[in-house]
């Protein structure tokens, strides 16, 4: 199916690898030119060059921390006039509820709530003026069902989810949709790091740790960044204009809920 977005321009945050890169590559495959962001310049430029050579689209890369005002300013400057925004940033570290300080909460809110809100505030007004736009926020399945050790993530992402629920209805009349994609376990560097930590704690190999986690997923495997990117490209497509303010789980059935 042609997504109907050839020639559009997208800003994809936190996209030198993992889920952000999966989204960027899927959009590029639909003929969308990109402003690609991540913190490390070298990995970012390598990802950008691979996209240029694989898909023949224009890719500008902005090495910056999207959770800081300066970093966002650089991304917003390069991405001015974008039709599509994919919000993403690294997730907060695990821990215990009684240990988290005010500073820990502020850092999580900055990364996983206030940064995507600021990016929306920066780019959506021009989308509304042109009468077309798409925003996809990468959040987490922890929005639907808490992961207790990721309480910083549960908290910050709940705030973003609330903001999107109201705002999506306010911008929809102008042809702009905002939706959230909720990843379950996907095969990325973050999943590898979580497996390595679980392996160390349980005295088993990382492969065994992965097999144990895969067994908790009804699909019996981790998701791929390609699958995730394809879902993102659909939400950014011409066909998804009636999907407004939704939270879409991509988790292989892991959250055991009827709705
Ligand atoms: P990853 O570690 O594989 O990739 C993260 C990417 O974000 C990298 O390109 C990194 O350079 C970039 N990045 C991180 N912080 C940044 C910042 N402040 N500014 C700019 N770029 C930044 O991670 P991933 O697995 O792709 O996860 C992406 C998001 O999805 C995270 O918030 C994560 O918590 C969430 N998530 C992932 C999974 C999973 O299984 N992979 C599950 C649920 C939620």
Angle at 44 between CA 193 and CA 123, to 5 degrees: 105
Q: From the CA of 158, how far away is ligand 1's center (Å)?
A: 17
Q: Measured between alpha carbons, how far is 121 from 137 in angstroms, rounded to an integer?
A: 13
The predicted-structure confidence for 107-166, as pLDDT tens digits, reads as follows: 999 999 999 999 999 999 999 999 999 999 999 999 999 999 999 999 999 999 999 999
**C-beta 158 within 6 A of ligand 1:** no
In the predicted structure, residue 194 carries a pLDDT above the cut 90: no
- pLDDT over 90 (residue 53): yes
17 close to ligand 1 (CB < 6 Angstrom): yes
Pocket test for ligand 1, best of 16, 183, 227 (most atoms within 8 A of CB): 183
**What number of CA atoms fall less than 13 Å from residue 163's CA on the CB side?**
19
Residue whose Cα lies nearest atom 12 of ligand 1: it is 14
Q: How many CB atoms lie within 10 A of CB 69?
A: 11
Task: State if residue 18 touches ligand 1 by the CB under 6 angstroms criterion.
Answer: yes
pLDDT tens per residue, range 11-36: 999 999 999 999 999 999 999 999 99
Q: How does the average pLDDT of the chain come out, rounded?
A: 97
CA 69 vs. chain centroid, Å, equals 19
Place of tokens 């989810």: 161
Q: Mean pLDDT, to the nearest integer, of 99-107?
A: 98
Ligand 1 atom at minimal distance to the Cα of residue 194: 40
Q: Per residue in 204-254, pLDDT tens? A: 999 999 999 999 999 999 999 999 999 999 999 999 999 999 999 999 999
Residue 196: predicted pLDDT: 94
pLDDT at 98: 97
Q: What is the DSSP string of 174-194?
A: GTEEEEEEEE-SBSSHHHHHH
Residue 154 contacts residue 95 (beta carbons within 8 Å): no
Q: Is 39 touching ligand 1 by the criterion CB < 6 Å? A: yes
Dist. CA 174 → ligand 1 center (Å): 30
Residue nearest to atom 24 of ligand 1 (CA): 18
Q: Which atom of ligand 1 is nearest to the CA of 16?
A: 9
Judge whether residue 37 has pLDDT over 90.
Answer: yes
> Is any ligand 1 atom within 6 A of the Cβ of residue 16?
yes
Provide the whole-model pTM.
0.98
What is the distance in A from the centroid of ligand 1 to the CA of 188?
9
**Lookup: tokens for 208:** 């065994």
pLDDT of residue 174: 98
- Asked whether 20 lines ligand 1 (CB < 6 A), one says yes
140 lines ligand 1 (CB under 6 A): yes
């Amino acid at each position: 199916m042609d997504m109907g977005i050839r020639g559009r321009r997208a800003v994809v945050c936190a996209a030198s690898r993992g889920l952000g890169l999966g989204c960027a590559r899927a959009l590029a495959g639909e003929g969308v030119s990109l402003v690609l962001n991540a913190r490390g310049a070298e990995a970012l430029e390598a990802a950008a060059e691979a996209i240029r050579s694989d898909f023949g689209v224009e890719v500008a890369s902005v090495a910056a921390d999207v959770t800081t005002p300066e970093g966002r300013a650089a991304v917003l400057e390069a991405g001015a006039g974008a039709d599509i925004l994919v919000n993403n940033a690294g997730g907060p570290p695990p821990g215990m509820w009684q240990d988290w300080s005010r500073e820990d909460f502020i850092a999580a809110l900055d990364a996983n709530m206030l940064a995507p809100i600021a990016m929306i505030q920066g780019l959506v007004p021009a989308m509304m003026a042109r009468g077309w736009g798409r925003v996809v926020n990468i959040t987490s399945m922890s929005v639907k069902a808490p992961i207790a050790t990721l309480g910083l993530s549960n908290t910050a992402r709940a705030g973003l989810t609330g903001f999107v629920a109201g705002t999506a209805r306010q911008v929809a009349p102008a042809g702009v949709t905002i939706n959230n994609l909720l990843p379950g376990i996907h095969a990325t560097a973050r999943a590898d790091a979580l497996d390595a930590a679980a392996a160390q704690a349980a005295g088993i190999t990382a492969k065994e740790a992965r097999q144990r986690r895969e067994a908790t997923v009804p699909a019996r495997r981790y998701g791929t960044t390609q699958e995730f990117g394809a879902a993102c490209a659909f939400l950014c497509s011409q066909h998804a204009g009636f999907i407004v303010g939704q939270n879409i789980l991509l988790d292989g059935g892991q959250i055991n809920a009827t709705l």
